[in-house]
Amino acid sequence: MSVPTGFPVEPWSVRETALDVDHIAQSESVFALSNGHIGLRGNLDEGEPHGIPGTYLNSFYEARPLPYAERGYGYPESGQTLVNVTNGKLIRLLVDDEPFDVRYGQLLSHERELDLRAGTLVRDVDWVSPVGKRLRVRSTRLVSFTQRAVAAVEYVVEAVDQPVRLIVQSELVANEVVSEQRADPRVAAVLERPLVALERDLSAHGATLLHRTRLSGLQMAAGMDHLLEAPGRVEDETRASDDWARTTVVCTLRPGERLRLVKLLAYGWSSQRSVPALRDQAAAALTGARYSGFEGLLAEQRAYLDDFWDAADVQVEGDPEIQQAVRFGLFHVLQAGARAEGRCIPAKGLTGPGYDGHTFWDTEALVLPVLTYVHPEAAADALRWRHAILDRARERASSLGLAGATMPWRTIRGEECSGYWPAGTAAFHVNADIAAAVERYRVVTGDDQLEVDGGLELLVETARLWMSLGHHTRDGAWHVAGVTGPDEYTAIVNDNVFTNLAAAHNLRTAAAGVLRHPGLGRRLGVDLEEASRWRDAAAAVHLPYDEELRVHQQSAGFTHLPEWDFEGRRDYPLLLHAPYVDLYRRQVAKQADLVMAMYWFGERFSPEDKARNVDYYERRTVRDSSLSACIQAVMTAEVGHLGLAHEYAYEAAMIDLRDLHHNTRDGLHVASLAGAWIAMVAGFGGLRECGEQLSFDPQLPETITRLQFSVRWHGLRLAVDVEHHEVTYTLRDGDDASVTLLHAGEEVEVTPAAPVTRALEKRLPQLPRPVQPPGREPARRR
C-alpha cells in the first residue's frame, strides 16, 4: 500500500499543499477537529469526494449483537458502535448551475492547514468551473473548546474574473451512507440507518433535527444557524425533512466581490432528557454562538490554546519533524479529552470509526499520564467516568465469579463490548492500569479530592478483584494465574510480570488510600485485616526469572517457548497473517510488555537487569501495536541506546503523519500520539514518579541538541531545559513556592528565584545496540 508523501515540516501547523484523492481518508483523520464532545472528520466542505464521512458525539452509540458460533458462560452478548451522527459540515456550492467539485473543471490550487495554535482547519481553493468561471473559496472550521456544544464554519466565496451567480446549500444530513470497510478486525462495524427521526424545527435562518438510535434508545439534536454577508440582492430559504435540513442562499457576485457565510452548529445528546429539552439545548447553544460571533469564537479558541501551550509545549531543537509531530500529537490528545466530561476517551478520539469508537486500557496507560502532567482537569474527568461505570464493572466481576470490579476490556458506556477473546477477556491488567492512573493523579496534582469523590472506591474494588484472582503458594509467594498482559500475542499465562507488578501496586495504593481516609475506608467495608492481606500479597508477588539467561520472563515459562520463525514468517502485522493459536505458543511479542513493566516499576529491576531484558525482548518484539514504540523509546534511552530511542520516538510521533501502520484512514492513534510526549519527556527527560517525589535523569541523543518542556506539579509549572552537558530546572509559579525533586538520585530544591542547573554525564550502554526482528526495525527519520 502506498503512503502519502507527507506534509511540509512546520513547527505549529500541518499543511496539505495539494489534494491527494487517493489518500483523502488519511487526511480526513489528520485534519479532524474535536473538543472531546463533538468530533468532525476533516471531510471537504462540499462532502465529496470523501473517504469516510464522519461526525461523532462522544459515547453516542448504537447497540448490536455479538455473534458466536458456540456460546459460553459469561460471554458478552452485545456490542456498541459509535454512530456517524447528523452531518453539519456540508456546504455545497453551485456556480451558474455547475456544482463546485474539485474533480471537475480546473483545480488551480488546493491547500488545507491545521493550525495548532488557533485550533482551526483552514482550506483555500482556487478553481475554474467547467465553463471558465474562476472562484476562490476559503473556509475556516473550528470545534469550540470553550462552548462545548458548538462548532462553526466560515465560508467565503470570491468571484475572480467574471460575474457569477452563486447558490450555496448549507445542510444537516442524517443517516449518511457509509461504505463497507476493509476486512480488518480493527475497523468499525457498519451501521445501516441507525437514526430514527423524532422531530424537526425550522427557524428564520436554520433548522434543528432530532433523532434517536433504534436499539440503544439514545436521543440527539443537531442544529444550525447562519450569519450572511453579501453585496446586492440576496435571498435565502430553509426547508427540512426527516433526515435533512437545508438553508439555501442565492446571490450574484461581480469580480472581486465576496459572499461570506458563517454556519453555526450545535450538538447535544442524552439517554434521559426529553426531546423538548434537547431541542432547547441546541437552540441555547446556537444563541450563545451567535452572541459570540465567529470572530469571538476564534478569539476564545486562541486564548484557550494559548493557555494550554504555555504549560504543555515541548520544544525540540535538532529534529524539526519530531518538533512538528509532538505538537500535533499533543493537540489531538487535548482534542480527545478536553471536554469529554464524564464520558470516555476513545482509542481513536473522535477522529474516525476505528475500533467502533471504544476505549481501552490505552487511555489510562498512555493518554492520562500526559493529561495528568499538562491538563489535569481532563485526566480527572476521565477517571470520574471510570467511577461512573463501577456498578457495571461489579456486575461483570460477579458474572465471572470474581470479587470487586472487572473493568471492560473495550467499551463505550461501561458494558464489556469485546466478544470472548483470550487476549482481551483475560487482560485484567486494565483494572490495575486504572488504579495506577488514580494514584498518579493524586501524586502529581497533590489533590486528594478525586480520591474522596470515587478514586478510593476504584482502588478498593480493583484491589478486591486481584485478591480473588491471585493466590499464595506453599512457599509464601503470591501468583496471578490465567491472565493476558499487554502483549496480546501471549495469552492466558501465569505470572505475567507486568500484571503482577501492576496488581501489587494496585494493592499497595488501595491499602495506603484507606489509611489516608479511614472513615471512607470503613464505609467501603475495608477493615484492618483486609488491608493487611493486600499489603502481604503485594510484598510476596512473584516475578519469574530465567537464571540461565539472566533475564526476567515476560510470563512464567516464556523463555522456554519455541522461537518464532522471523526469517520465514514476516508478514506484518502478524495478527492478519497468522492464527493466534500459533502466536500464543511462541516467543514473539506484539508490543512492549516486560519492557513496559520496567518503565512503570523501574525500582524492581537493577540497571543490569534492564540492560539484559531490553536486549532480549528487542529481538522478539514486532510492534504490531501502535502502543509499543514509545515504551521502547523510554527504556532504550534509559539503558543508553539513545540513537535507537530517537528512532522509536520518531516512529511513535509520526505514526499518523506518515501513516506508518497503513490504517490512519480509520482514525488517529491517540495513545501513540500521547506516547510521543512520553518518549520525549520520560525517555530523554528521564521523568519518573519516585514514590511521591518528582524525579528526572535526562540524556539527549546526539541529533537532538536541546529539549525544553514543562510539567504541572502540585498546581505549579516546572520548566525543564535539557542540553547535552547540563539541565536547568525552573519553577514558573508562586513567589514563595518550592519544589523538591530528584535529579539523578540527588535531592534538589527549586524556587522561582533560584533555578537549579546540574551537569550531565554521558550515559553509556552496557551492551551493544540490540537488533530487531527482520523487517521490524524502527521507522527511519527522513
Q: Determine the Cα–Cα distance for residues 244 and 246; give it in Å rounded to an integer.
A: 7
pLDDT higher than threshold 60 for residue 3: no
Which one-letter amino acid corresponds to residue 232?
G
Q: Count CB-CB contacts under 10 A for residue 512.
A: 16
pLDDT higher than threshold 80 for residue 1: no
Q: Determine the Cα–Cα distance for residues 614 and 769; give it in Å rounded to an integer.
A: 10
Query: Using the 8-state DSSP alphabet, how is residue 354 labeled?
Result: G
Q: Determine the Cα–Cα distance for residues 164 and 420; give it in Å rounded to an integer.
A: 60
Q: For 252-271, write each residue's pLDDT tens digit.
A: 999 999 999 999 999 999 99
Q: Is 263 annotated as ligand-binding?
A: no
> Could you give the 3-state DSSP secondary structure of residue 113?
strand
> Could you give the 3-state DSSP secondary structure of residue 105?
coil
Q: What is the DSSP string of 246-286?
A: EEEEEEEE-TT-EEEEEEEEEEEEESSS-HHHHHHHHHHHH
Grid coordinates representing 624 are: 504490531
- What is the pLDDT at residue 4? 45
**Structural Rg of the chain based on CA atoms:** 27
For β-strands 207-213 and 726-731, DSSP reports them as: unpaired
Q: Give the helix/strand (H/E) hosting 498.
A: helix 497-516
Q: For 689-710, write each residue's pLDDT tens digit.
A: 999 999 999 999 999 999 999 9
Q: For 724-782, write each residue's pLDDT tens digit.
A: 999 999 999 988 999 999 999 999 999 999 999 999 999 899 999 999 999 999 987 65
pLDDT higher than threshold 90 for residue 69: no
Q: For 308-327, write each residue's pLDDT tens digit.
A: 999 999 999 999 999 999 99
**Which residue shows C-alpha cell 471537504?**
44
In the chain, the percentage of residues whose pLDDT exceeds 70 is: 97
Our measurement of the distance from residue 74's CA atom to the centroid of its chain's CA atoms, rounded to an integer in Å, reads: 29
In the chain, the percentage of residues whose pLDDT exceeds 90 is: 93
Q: Are 354 and 663 in contact (CB under 8 A)?
A: yes
Q: Give the helix/strand (H/E) hosting 298.
A: helix 275-312
Q: For 92-127, write each residue's pLDDT tens digit.
A: 999 998 999 999 999 999 999 999 999 999 999 999
pLDDT higher than threshold 90 for residue 11: yes
Greater confidence, 594 or 422? 594
**Helices 670-678 and 628-638: angle between axes, nearest 10 degrees:** 10
Average pLDDT score over the chain: 95
Nearby residues of 183 by Cβ (< 8 Å), 6 or more positions away: none
Q: Which of 202-206, 528-532, 601-605 has the lowest mean pLDDT?
A: 202-206
**Which residue shows C-alpha cell 513496559?**
596
| Residue 283, phi then psi, degrees to nearest 5 | -65, -40
**Which residue shows C-alpha cell 466560515?**
154
Q: Which of 1-10, 18-27, 445-454, 488-497 has the lowest mean pLDDT?
A: 1-10
Q: Count CB-CB contacts under 10 A for residue 113.
A: 22
Q: Determine the Cα–Cα distance for residues 667 and 62; give it in Å rounded to an integer.
A: 19
CA atoms within 13 A on the CB side of 655: 30
pLDDT higher than threshold 60 for residue 328: yes
Q: Are 745 and 729 in contact (CB under 8 A)?
A: no
- What's the pLDDT band for 141 if we cut at 50, 70, 90? very high
Q: Determine the Cα–Cα distance for residues 244 and 469; give it in Å rounded to an integer.
A: 52
Q: Determine the Cα–Cα distance for residues 463 and 405; give it in Å rounded to an integer.
A: 9
- What's the pLDDT band for 80 if we cut at 50, 70, 90? very high
**Which residue shows C-alpha cell 499487554?**
486
**Domain extent listing, the chain:** 13-311
Nearest to 330 by CA among 349, 343, 344: 349
pLDDT higher than threshold 60 for residue 605: yes
Q: Determine the Cα–Cα distance for residues 622 and 586; give it in Å rounded to an integer.
A: 13
13-311 folds as Beta-galactosidase; Chain A, domain 5 (2.70.98)
Instruction: Please give the order of strands across the beta sheet that includes 106-115.
Output: 13-16, 106-115, 120-128, 134-143, 150-159, 258-270, 219-229, 207-213, 195-202
- What is the pLDDT at residue 72? 81
- The pTM (predicted TM-score) of the whole model is 0.96
Please give the average per-residue pLDDT across 275-302, as a whole number. Answer: 97
SS3 per residue for 659-700 = CCCCCHHHCCCHHHHHHHHHHHHHHHCCCEEECCEEEECCCC
Q: Is 133 annotated as ligand-binding?
A: no
Q: Is 421 annotated as ligand-binding?
A: no
Q: Determine the Cα–Cα distance for residues 329 and 337; give it in Å rounded to an integer.
A: 13
**Helices 497-516 and 456-469: angle between axes, nearest 10 degrees:** 130
Tell me the β-bridge partners of 144.
none
Q: Determine the Cα–Cα distance for residues 682 and 637; give it in Å rounded to an integer.
A: 9
Please give the average per-residue pLDDT across 634-649, as a whole number. Answer: 98
List, by residue number, the catalytic residues.
488
Q: Are 86 and 209 in contact (CB under 8 A)?
A: yes
